[in-house]
Amino acid sequence: MLEVQDLHTFYGESHVLQGVSLSVAPSQCVALLGRNGAGKTTTLRSILGLTPARRGEVTFKGEVITRKPTHQIVRLGVSYVPEDRGIFATVTVEEHLAMARGASRGRPARKDIGYVFEVFPRLAERRHSLGGQLSGGEQQMLAIGRALIAGPDLLVLDEPSEGLAPVIIEKLEEVLLAVKRMGVPILIVEQNYHLATRLADYVYVLSQGSVKFAGATEALTRDENIRRTYLSV
């Protein structure tokens, strides 16, 4: 589904990703773990073309997307929930969803706005509120709902649980498990180790811009050494 080969990404002169490789298989949930500054966000941004890689290759559904502009990558079926959630302060909940729906014209699995309101009834109540008026939890639901509208072939999430109350995280987990059951592949960056290991089938651990561990989730939970060195759990 998604193949990332030897990605090198720079911010100016600073060499942030130093050869990251990973892959996501159909229906698989893959977690990308690592400490602050490890390069997790940069990896996702490189996949999406937001911070294009200088070297290496990204392939999605058999097509090379390394140099494609972001909007084309997204139209191929990659939905993105960024670290800051990317909610527009002066745009209403309903408009957020309508924009995403409009932008995914032509995608066979595209959903209706009503679908998102079923998954997150709270958003239906807040449909006329502006993005800037939502709570952190509501913003995260909106960001995920907006990502689901396109009926994505890959859902990319950057720390969705960050800053959320435990009850909201439970709800989030429930929704992501449901998405996974529908067979949508997920690539998720998470600081919440327990949430990540409950969701993921496969895990990559990143440190200083390169992959230090790759393996099935059970292998990581058994490998205390890796956990202690790179994750402090």
Partner 1 sequence: MQMFFLQFLNGLQLSMLIFLLAAGLTLIFGLMDILNLAHGAFFTMGAYAGWLVSRMTGSYWAALLIGPLVPFALGALLQSAVLQPLVKRGRSTHLDLALLTFGLLFATAGTVEYFFGSSFYSIPTPAILSGRIAMLGIDYPVYRLFVIGVGLGVALLLSLVIDRTLIGATLRAGVDNREMVTALGININVVFVIVFGCGAALAGFAGVIAAPIMSVYSQMGIGIVVTTFVVVVVGGLGNLKGSFYGALFVGMTDTMAQAYLPEAELFAIYVLLVGMMIFRPQGLFGSTGRVA
70 is written with which tokens?
A: 């972001």
Under the criterion CB under 5 A, does residue 41 sit at the interface with Mg ion?
yes
Burial pattern 100-113, b for ≥16 Cβ within 10 A else e, equals bbebbeebeebbeb
Contacts of 16 (CB under 8 A, 6+ apart): 9, 10, 39, 42, 209
Under the criterion CB under 6 A, does residue 34 sit at the interface with ligand ATP?
yes
Contacts of 37 (CB under 8 A, 6+ apart): none
For residues 186 and 179, is the Cβ–Cβ distance under 8 A? yes
As measured in angstroms, the least distance from the Cβ of 41 to Mg ion is 3
Build a one-symbol-per-residue string for 127-166: x at contacts with partner 1 by CB under 8 A, - elsewhere: -------------------x---x----------------
Residue 16 interacting entry, from partner 1, Mg ion, ligand ATP, none, C-beta within 5 to 8 Å by type: ligand ATP
Show contacts with partner 1 in window 72-101 (CB under 8 A).
74-75, 80, 82, 86, 88-92, 95-96, 98-100
For residues 149 and 113, is the Cβ–Cβ distance under 8 A? yes
As measured in angstroms, the least distance from the Cβ of 84 to ligand ATP is 10
Bridge partners of 4, per DSSP, are: 22, 58
211 is written with which tokens?
A: 């992959």
Under the criterion CB under 5 A, does residue 192 sit at the interface with Mg ion?
no
Of 57-65, 75-83, 91-99, 106-114: span binding Mg ion (CB under 5 A): 75-83
Under the criterion CB under 6 A, does residue 36 sit at the interface with ligand ATP?
yes
As measured in angstroms, the least distance from the Cβ of 54 to partner 1 is 15
Point out which residues bind Mg ion (CB under 5 A): 41, 83
